[in-house]
Amino acid sequence: MIARPVVAAALALACFGASAAQADDEVNVYTYRETKLVQPLFEAFSKDTGIKVNVISASSGLEQRIKTEGVNSPADVLLTVDIGRIDDAVQAGVAQPIRSEIIDKAVPAQYRDPDGNWAGISMRARVIYASKDRVKQDAITYEELADPKWKGKICIRSGQHIYNNGLFAAYVARHGEAKAEEWLRGLKANLAQKPSGGDRETARDVAAGKCDLGIGNTYYWALMMNSDPDKKPWAEATRVILPTFEGGGTHVNLSGVLLAKHAPNRANGLKLIEWLAGEQAQQIYADANYEYPVRAGVAINPTIAGYGKLNADPMPIAKIAANRKAAATLVDKVGFDN
């Protein structure tokens, strides 16, 4: 996600009050997602259902906060981004299973926790921003990023950032730790510079000629191209290639939703979760934040569709989550960020 300033906290705290955590026509949402994105969603939900949404927005520490609040926590629903943060919340013990036929039907099984502790609501892919001038090929595999032909040509942010942790964990899940280590060493050897910045800065460095291939998420390129005139030249100098694993597809990660363990408005929380997987909400995710809908049959934003058809890797996201630690350990072991 993009930077998430703490915006609605004061307002929301006022809304929650001391004894108003439970109310028939309200639902309390803790979110890491930007207000700009979630506000249109919640407004549409309220209009549809008559349920008022109280929001607490923060850039970190929400699962810790829910944990500390314990049985008195007003949180009904937690919205977060990336399997890394989703998994952190589950590990913190703040979730309860989402038991919903609507979710089971709307969200493909690979994008849901087999135990029901989380569900994916939208997707982003981790892709290549390739120099238009210097990269001629149209297809690439993740495996190929370790090929010496790219020596000194690749830019990427920290190997410990959750987005790369997810990709590297997918590599471990697919190929095992030994091969993943070899691959990470090869990728590290191909870097043009020490891992730094964010995905936008990676595009900037490709545009500036520091590297030929950058690794970034799908929505950043669309945001730079369509919504950020200062950074538009970085998108214009690059094109997005959807890489695939050999014999597999493109690595995707999720924004996800959890039902809080002690949700005082559990039924309304479930209603909101189900609504977020519905057609209207999925279209907002697709257009307002350039994400891929998890629900079939919802139109993908034209800029994102312009990358080509996404063939998402079939690896269940829960298996990727299970390899997060191994990936982080390997990143340290090979000195990826040094």
Question: What is the binding site for Fe ion (CB under 5 A)?
Answer: 1
Interstrand relation of 95-96 and 52-57 (parallel, antiparallel or unpaired): unpaired
- The CB-side HSE value for 268 (13 A sphere, CA atoms) comes to 26
Q: Given the complex with Fe ion, which of 1 and 206 has the nearer CB atom?
A: 1
Which residues fall within 8 angstroms of residue 194, CB to CB, at 6 or more apart?
A: 337, 338
Q: Given the complex with Fe ion, which of 84 and 293 has the nearer CB atom?
A: 84
Residue 117 CA, distance from chain mean position: 17
Q: Given the complex with Fe ion, which of 86 and 334 has the nearer CB atom?
A: 86
Q: Given the complex with Fe ion, which of 112 and 124 has the nearer CB atom?
A: 124
Minimum CB distance to Fe ion, residue 58 (Å): 16
Q: Given the complex with Fe ion, which of 21 and 235 has the nearer CB atom?
A: 235
Q: Given the complex with Fe ion, which of 1 and 252 has the nearer CB atom?
A: 1
Minimum CB distance to Fe ion, residue 1 (Å): 4
Cβ atoms < 10 Å from Cβ of 99: 10
Minimum CB distance to Fe ion, residue 246 (Å): 27
Amino acid letter, 146: A
Minimum CB distance to Fe ion, residue 220 (Å): 7
Minimum CB distance to Fe ion, residue 336 (Å): 20
Minimum CB distance to Fe ion, residue 84 (Å): 12
Minimum CB distance to Fe ion, residue 124 (Å): 8
To the nearest 10 degrees (0 to 180), the angle between helices 324-333 and 177-189 is 50
User: Would you give the end-to-end CA distance of the chain in angstroms?
Assistant: 25
CB of 262 closer than 8 Å to CB of 70: yes
Q: Say whether 96 sits in a helix, a strand or coil.
A: strand
Minimum CB distance to Fe ion, residue 263 (Å): 27
Smallest CA-to-CA distance from 200 within 147, 148, 163 is with 163
- The CB-side HSE value for 239 (13 A sphere, CA atoms) comes to 14
CB of 95 closer than 8 Å to CB of 80: no
Smallest CA-to-CA distance from 255 within 12, 6, 55, 34 is with 34
Q: Given the complex with Fe ion, which of 1 and 29 has the nearer CB atom?
A: 1
Which residues fall within 8 angstroms of residue 297, CB to CB, at 6 or more apart?
A: 279
For residue 155, the cross-strand partners are 214
Q: Given the complex with Fe ion, which of 1 and 298 has the nearer CB atom?
A: 1
Identify the helix (H) or strand (E) that includes residue 79: strand 77-81
- Position closest to Fe ion via CB: 1
